[in-house]
């Protein structure tokens, strides 16, 4: 039983550390959009990384349009990523295509 409690404590700590890492990777505009969210104070206080990731995903895919044109926005995000991938050096890109080409 104590192993379970210890594992749960470690998991909670790792998830809180993940929150800090994800927020540090956001640029100023993304941080402002996250901070403007209705439930921000609550999940920031709890360092809830799953809620943070959910809200960032919503921001990225909906572009603030309340779920309008989600499929289009997802396609544009993936296209932008692939364009970024094509312009970066393959040694720094981690997309599946580039990783497979390393071998």
What would the pLDDT profile of 36-48 be if each residue is shown by its tens digit?
Answer: 999 999 999 999 9
Would you give the end-to-end CA distance of the chain in angstroms? 44
Q: What's the maximum distance between 2 C-alpha atoms anywhere in the chain? A: 51
Supply the pLDDT for residue 46. Answer: 92
Q: Which two tokens stand for residue 102?
A: 């390393």
Per-domain residue ranges of the chain: 1-65, 69-103
Supply the pLDDT for residue 43. Answer: 92
Q: What is the DSSP letter of 26?
A: S
Supply the pLDDT for residue 47. Answer: 93
Query: Contact at 8 Å (CB) between 73 and 62?
Result: yes
Supply the pLDDT for residue 5. Answer: 84
∠ CA(49), CA(58), CA(39), 5° rounding? 55
Query: Contact at 8 Å (CB) between 26 and 38?
Result: no
The pLDDT tens digits of the residues spanning 66-103 come to 556 667 777 777 777 777 666 555 455 556 555 555 54
- pTM (two decimals): 0.60
């Amino acid at each position: 039983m104590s192993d379970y409690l210890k594992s749960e404590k470690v998991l909670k700590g790792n998830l809180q550390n993940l929150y800090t890492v994800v927020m540090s990777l956001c640029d100023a505009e993304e941080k402002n959009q996250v901070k403007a969210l209705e439930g921000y104070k609550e999940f920031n206080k709890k360092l809830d990384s799953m809620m943070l990731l959910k809200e960032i995903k919503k921001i990225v895919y909906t572009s603030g349009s309340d779920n309008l044109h989600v499929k289009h926005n997802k396609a544009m995000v993936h296209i932008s990523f692939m364009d970024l991938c094509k312009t970066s050096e393959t040694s720094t890109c981690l997309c599946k295509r580039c990783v497979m080409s390393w071998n």
